[in-house]
Structures are given as structure tokens and as C-alpha cells.
Amino acid sequence: MEGRTERRGLCLNLPAEIISVLLYALRVAVPLLCISIAHRCFRSLKLGKRKEEPVVVLEDASSRTVLPVLYWENSIGRSRSCDIVLHDPTVSRAHAVLMRRESGWLVTDTNSRAGTLVNGKKVKQDAPVFPGDTITVGSTALTLKRTADVGVAQPQSPPRRRAASPFHLMQLVVLVQFLLFVQACFAPAKPSLEPLVPFAALLVLEWGLYFYSMKILGRVSFELETLAFLLCSVGIMLLCGEGVKTTYTQLLGVAIGTVLYCFLIWFLGSPARVMRWRVAAGVLAMLLFAANLLLAKEHNGARNWITLGPFSLQPSELIKIAFILVGASTLDRLQTYKNLTGFIAFSAICMGALFLMRDFGTACVFFVTFLIIAFMRSGSLRTISLACSVAVLGAFLILKFKPYVAERFAAWRHVWSHVNDAGGYQQVRVLSYAATGGLFGVGLGKGCLKDVFAGDSDLVFGMLCEEQGLILALTVVLILAALASSARANATRSRSTLYSISACAAGGMLLFQTCLNVFGATDVLPLTGVTLPFISLGGSSMVSVWGLLAFLKANDERTYAARRRRS
């Protein structure tokens, strides 16, 4: 029947023009719903923040000055960068750390000159402190007290607005998935119900994690997971336009990624456990790099894939998680010589391995993450400037002695002079086809960029613009940027600097990788071949981004609140 649609039981006795209008309406509705979901999720994250109000205080025994203790980990010293600053020449610049753990308050000396005492007894590591105990640093005696005991007035705050229901947010995500599923059914020349497989698989995965997290573990927040499944849905349904079989790798990546996510949330629950296993994580990462260098074959100019039968693995994606684990640290060990030198040496090994693998896009991501961690650990712009200077020198040497790398940059900002050669072929197609998509796209499977090499991975931003429109593509980018911003906003309220550093590093890694993908495909930056988080085709990448999301989740105080209530 010409002008009508039917196949495998999917029969709609509607003119093709009406079908086209309805599909266009769906493409308008999807980005609007995504914007609404993202707004409600980030609003809930903001409402869930703890106010910076002291739970306990330190009272100077001589002057009776009350010093509020605002954080889970508080540095004590003479330096202005300390959380609790003491104007006492006998106190070291970084003298001690007062930290809260599940067992209570602990104090640790950080290699000070005069030492730290609790009730007159010298301590070195993790000495318990109770209300009424006196901590002596230098010649200053500080008494730990509850806020109620010293009459600290708690500021009255206006009534808090109610956060969005996690269940209702997930229902909206399902609605978005359904609208994308309907579009995917009409992606082939003849409509098909084959996209029902990835649609059903997504429902099982997301609701399985929801009930495990909210009902079994009793957590109160699910915003980050909601956003992750929203982004995964956009990417997987976009791949349906190429064929349902291309989504199987992504679905497997989501399944393994959510398992890794749950494991990391448990693993990160104890900062002491993380610190014990950091070295093992670093050793495992180096073994993966060694296996990559020995077993990987060159693919598109880089040796970054290991093939195991029908499966392929990109080790550098998984090493991102280990890199952050090694770089993060609790406050009491943050500035120790052994800790710092170990991280710097590990970073140098990672950069060297990526150089040998010729994976310069991932090397850039690792380097920027190194800068974030280094700055958060030291707070020194001089250190960052030195690292950048070394990087510039390294880049100069690479371009001078590795001419094949320089060739990749030859067409940058001149892609229209390389329309049909390797230098600009992909970027020109991205710019042209993305423009044809307009605000709401041409429809799933109706674009041309999917037929260009790496269209569903390195160039996926252009494919998203072409088939679903500029508004949805920008919404995806803004959600990823907002995830990084939320990690920074929660940094001072997290349970440990371990969480602050790891979350900011993970958020920065996601954001920088997004910038490389989007700006590389559109010729703002050189094309480096990195994926767009949660969207691009790639099982290893999908597993990795779920692992990175776990660092952001651990940074939220509410994540472990249910466990504390039960204990």
C-alpha cells in the first residue's frame, strides 16, 4: 500500500505525511523533556546539599575563642590555606588534621615540628577525640566541644523546597525512551519493532539499579543515575538508526558499567580501604598498559585495542579509574612525600605508555586530569605552570621528531581545503550534515553521517545534531558540563578530600573529553579521536564513564547517609 506503513505486525493505516508530522513532534518533545529532567535533577542535587554549619567546635583554652569545625576533614596549622588557622609561631604551617569517621572524631599529626597531643599524650596517627578532650598543637590548647555546649547560634534558614521525586524522574526518563523507541521503529525504510529489544533492556537495567539502590540499600538520591540513563538512552537509540545489532555492545557496556558503579560505591565507602588499595590499583593499571603494548595491534594509527576473540577491549578507558584512585588522597596523607612522588611517577608512566601507544587524545585527557589533581592537592599555580611548561616542551619534541603526528594537525582550521582527503573529510561532513539537521533533526536513521567512518563514535556529536537536532545535542553537552560543575560545588561538603579530589578529577575528565569530542569534530580543536561520554559507540568507554560517575556519587554526602542511619 503506497504511502502507508506496515511490517512484521506494525501496521499503521496513516498517510506518510501524517507519520512525518508525528515523528517531527516527537523530535520536538524529546529535547524539551530532557531539559526538564536535567533541570529537576540538578535542582534536587542543589537542594540536597548540607549547609556549612558547625557540628562541633574547638575552643581555645587561653583566649576562649571558638573555632567552628565545618568539614569532615579539617586541616589545622599556621598557613592561611588551613581550615583552622592558628596564629601561633610554634605551630607548623600544616600541623594536624581533625577528621570525622564513622567511629567518631580522630586527630592525626602531619609531621609537625612540635607534635600533637591529646589530653597530654603525644599522638601520630588516628587518635580518637571525644567532646571535652583537649588537643594541643604547639603551645595552643584546643578543647573539642559540641555546638550546644558553647551556645553557638544556628542561623535560621528559610523552609527548604521539596526535591523532585526520584521515581517520577525515572518515569520521565522512560517517557523519553519511549518517544525515542517510536522514532527508532520508523528509522528503517519499512517500520520495524526490532528496537523493542534495546528499549526493554534499558528498562530492565535502569529499574533494576533503581530498586537495588533505593529499596534494598535505602538511599535517598538517584539524580546522577537518572541523568546517566537519560544520556545512555539517547546514545543507544541513536545507534538504532544504524541497526539494532550495533546497540548490543552499548547495552553490554551499560550492564557491566552499572555493576562496576555499584562496586565502586561500596569500595569508596571507606577512605581507609581506598588508601590501602591505591598501590594495587596503580600496579594493575601498569599491567594493563604492558598488556596493551604487547598484545594490541595498530588501529587507525594508534595501538589502543586488545582483541580477545569476538570482543575488543580498550585498556586506557579502564585505567582512567585507576589514575584517579591513585591521585586522590585523604587530607592526613595529602602532602606526604611518599604519596606525592608516587602519584607523579605513576602519572609519568601513564603518559609514557600512551605516547608509545600513539593515543594522543587520551594522553591529553590524562594530562588535564593530572593538572586538576595536582592543583587540588597543592593549591599551587606555580606547580601547574611548571607542569604545563613541561607539556609544551614535550608537545614540541613530539611534533618535531614524530612527523606523522604533525600531519594530523596540518588540516586543522583549514578543513574546507581538504574536503576529500584524510585531513578534513570527516570534519567537513560533520559541519555540513549537522547543519542540515536544524533544531530538531531529520529523524533517527535518516542522516548521512552514520555512513562516514567513526560517525557513531568520534563524530557522534555531528550525528546527534543531524538526526535529533541542535537543541538535544547541546542539552547533552550541557548535562555533562553540569555534572562537572556539581562535583566542584560539592567539594567542600564531601566526607573526605579523597572524595573531593576524585569527584573533581572525574568531572573534569568527563568535561574535557566532551570538549575534545565536540570541538574536534567541528574543527575548533584538532580531531583527536576521543568518545563523547555515554553517547559514543564503545563498550569500554561506556564501562569507564559509569566508573567515573561513581566518584561523583561518592562525593554526595547523602550516598552513605542510609548506612549511617542503619548502623
pLDDT at 6: 46
* pLDDT average per 10 residues of sequence, the chain (567 residues): 44 74 94 96 84 81 86 87 88 89 86 88 86 91 85 54 85 97 89 92 96 91 95 95 91 96 94 88 90 79 74 87 88 65 84 82 88 78 70 66 63 83 87 94 92 91 96 97 90 81 94 94 88 93 96 88 53
Closest CA to 74 of 555, 499, 497, 489: 497
Of the CA atoms within 13 Å of residue 5, those in its CB half-sphere come to: 18
Helical H segments across 358-424, by residue range: 360-378, 381-401, 403-409
pLDDT at 397: 62
State phi, psi for 302 to the nearest 5 degrees. -130, 145
DSSP strand pairing (73-77 vs 84-85): parallel
| Cα 28 to chain centroid, rounded | 28
pLDDT at 565: 47
pLDDT at 371: 86
pTM of the model as a whole:
0.88
Q: Which residue has the cell 537543541?
A: 471
Helices (H) and strands (E) in the chain, counts: 18, 16
Angle value at C-alpha 255, between 250 and 257, nearest 5 degrees: 90
Question: Greatest CA span in the chain, whole angstroms?
Answer: 93
Q: Which residue has the cell 503506497?
A: 2
Segments of 297-343 assigned E as strands:
297-299, 302-308, 311-313
Dist. CA 504–CA 488, nearest whole Å = 6
| Cα 146 to chain centroid, rounded | 36
pLDDT at 53: 73
pLDDT at 9: 43
pLDDT at 12: 56
